[in-house]
Structure 1
Amino acid sequence: MAAVGAQGGRWNDRLDLLTHFAPVWLASSLVSLLLAVLVLRRWRRWTFAALSLIAVISATMLMAVDLRRLPDRYAAADPARTLKIITFNAWTRNRDIREVARWVAAENPDILVLPEGSRLLAEAIRAETGLRVFEGSGAFIATRDKPLDERVAWDARFLAGGPTALSWVVLRGPDGTPFTVVGVHCGWPIPARAAWADAQKITALLNTMDRSRTILAGDFNSTQWSFRQRAADAAFGLERRDRAHLTWPVRLPMFHGIRFPWPFLSIDHLYAGGAWRTVSVKRGPEMGSDHYPLVATLAWLDVP
């Protein structure tokens, strides 16, 4: 019922909440199908097998957006024209700050986007990596090179939607052309009105930028399987570079942050314009947060 009902998210925001759990519906429907075939007999076997198969098809349709690999995107690139970027919701209750800073130093990124970054974590990252940390609003942004500009959309706080503002920095690309990195931390997909407003704020900001050279990263609290998020992605005008990287939860926010055995939501994303080609995207390790980090390498293309 959940897998099929999620298809109603095309028209109903409440049903769209079911789409976020597409991997759960797919896995449970496959188990149900297996049990129906192995355990049940006669008409029950075929009835429950058919219902389970319908659920498998519905959940697979939801996830098809990530099952299709984009052609000619993952390829080797000149290291001098690549950019390594990490986005990681560090979690305000994270006690492993030194571990995070040491891991970032080992990864040696060019850019780090940190939703829920703390002043203590910012100082630790500066000390371990030498990165410049812009303590904006919504997400900290750490960069290896000195930004040409650093900004926060403070006015966005007074618009409908979540209270989180948007931070961004402008950097110089390998060919000297500036590009922009936007860090975001969106609210939950409920209430839907606030979630739609968050997407509109991001879109309004992107409308002021050269999208072809823009990178957008952070914690969106929304999966790509959601019909609302698909509409937002289309409005962003950028290509999402992560593909079914399940990043939440590492631990649950309740019960004193108890460890959860496996993640089932893909809510941390990285988008980029046409000036960037994807070289690699991977999920990072557990580091005291309730999120896993995303680590991506992008290659700069010459775009007129």
Structure 2
Amino acid sequence: MRLVGSTMVTVATLAAWIALLGAWSPTLDAVASFLPLFAIILVAGLLIARRRALWTLLIAAVGIAPMAVAATREATRAIPPAPAGAHELRVLTHNVWFDNATPAATGAAIAAAGADVVLLQETTRARGSLIAATTRRFPYRTRCPEGGCGLTILSRWPIRASGYFLEDARGRKFGPPLLWADIAVPGLAPVRVATVHYPWPLPARRQAEKRAAMSAALDRVDRRALIVAGDMNLTPWSSAMRAQDEALAPLARMTRATWSWPSVLPFLPIDQLYAGPAWGLVRVDRLAATGSDHLPLLITLGQR
């Protein structure tokens, strides 16, 4: 058993250091998503091999270093707070799951969450049931184009404009297909929100292209009051997530290691929300399971 423990420590250490190579290899960067799991394996291995030779402890110390750096970087990352008494906006982001067997129950949970605006992903099959269950709370929603609705936005207040591509001053469409909407929030200028869904990090090229297109598109719009959220299939420990944080500035990522997938035992924080400098964070709430394989996140923002 002590040998098993030592092996666990060694494997976890190697995996943690391989994850660091993600800064140069997008394929290996996917390994970084599992750093918390490697930490659990390392600690469990130490407990099993507690009477083993000193070299096991030395290997563990080497292995815990990249894990600690990643955790500290995320824990100390600056998130702008909302001022006291700020005008609040409650935004819910949720991947409702393509294979959701109880979309009506998911819709009821969304309606009861107290959100003002809802940004949804994977709504192709569930859209009808979701709308039926949420219409009283959210009488306004984005239109569904031909070919289906993988993304949907629900709102308590009128939607002044929406689309699956951003538009320049001349009305010409550009950028990746993300769903956006301008919401007529009482007491505020229209607020633009957008919902996105990135592919899995492997194969790496597909997601990298999506992130690059997103960043380039947002370079051409006013980011001050913009809110972008969705299932990004990125965790805070990855080099890709850190690169995106920089590329989307001055938007700030308001979600800090909020574990959201899978819903049964969430160990990957892959659902994220970014907001422009017009917003500060009040709080982030991870809500109960709804029938999806993701947990919904309710982010309360305050106008700065």
TM-score, scaled relative to structure 1: 0.84
Matched, 1:47 2:55: yes
Moved more, 213-222 or 171-180: 171-180
Write the distance in 1 (CA, Å) between the matches of 2:132 and 2:55. 58
For residues 188 and 71 of structure 1, do their structure 2 counterparts lie closer, same or farther at Cα, with a shift above 3 Å needed? closer
2:5 matched residue in structure 1: none
Write the distance in 2 (CA, Å) between the matches of 1:190 and 1:204. 22
2:271 matched residue in structure 1: 268
The correspondence of residues 1-304 of structure 1 with structure 2, limited to 5 A, is 1-36=14-49, 38-40=50-52, 44=53, 46-68=54-76, 70=78, 73=81, 76-78=84-86, 81-117=87-123, 118-136=126-144, 137-153=149-165, 165-173=177-185, 175-237=187-249, 238-250=251-263, 260=264, 262-301=265-304
For residues 28 and 76 of structure 1, do their structure 2 counterparts lie closer, same or farther at Cα, with a shift above 3 Å needed? farther
SS of structure 2 residue aligned to 1:211: coil
Aligned amino acid, residue 181 of structure 1? V
Write the distance in 2 (CA, Å) between the matches of 1:284 and 1:153. 30
Aligned amino acid, residue 67 of structure 1? A
Moved more, 212-221 or 48-57: 48-57
Structure 1: gaps spanning 5 or more residues: 251-259
Write the distance in 2 (CA, Å) between the matches of 1:39 and 1:135. 63
SS of structure 1 residue aligned to 2:159: coil
Alignment: residue pair count: 278
- 1:35, distance to aligned residue in structure 2 (A): 3.0
Write the distance in 2 (CA, Å) between the matches of 1:48 and 1:276. 47
- 1:232, distance to aligned residue in structure 2 (A): 1.8
- 1:272, distance to aligned residue in structure 2 (A): 0.3
Aligned amino acid, residue 209 of structure 1? V
Q: Is the Cα–Cα contact under 8 Å of residues 125 and 131 in structure 1 kept in the other structure? A: no
Deviation per CA, 1:255-280: give whole Å up to 9, x if none.
xxxxx4x2111110001011001000
Q: Is the Cα–Cα contact under 8 Å of residues 82 and 279 in structure 2 kept in the other structure? A: no
Write the distance in 1 (CA, Å) between the matches of 2:80 and 2:142. 34
For residues 135 and 224 of structure 1, do their structure 2 counterparts lie closer, same or farther at Cα, with a shift above 3 Å needed? farther
For residues 72 and 120 of structure 1, do their structure 2 counterparts lie closer, same or farther at Cα, with a shift above 3 Å needed? closer
Aligned amino acid, residue 91 of structure 2? I
For residues 178 and 130 of structure 1, do their structure 2 counterparts lie closer, same or farther at Cα, with a shift above 3 Å needed? closer
For residues 148 and 18 of structure 1, do their structure 2 counterparts lie closer, same or farther at Cα, with a shift above 3 Å needed? same
SS of structure 2 residue aligned to 1:33: helix
SS of structure 2 residue aligned to 1:85: strand
Pairwise CA RMSD of aligned residues?
A: 2.3
SS of structure 1 residue aligned to 2:112: helix
TM-score, scaled relative to structure 2: 0.84
Moved more, 127-136 or 190-199: 127-136
Moved more, 238-247 or 202-211: 202-211
Write the distance in 1 (CA, Å) between the matches of 2:79 and 2:127. 41
Structure 2: gaps spanning 5 or more residues: 1-13, 168-173
Write the distance in 1 (CA, Å) between the matches of 2:64 and 2:182. 44
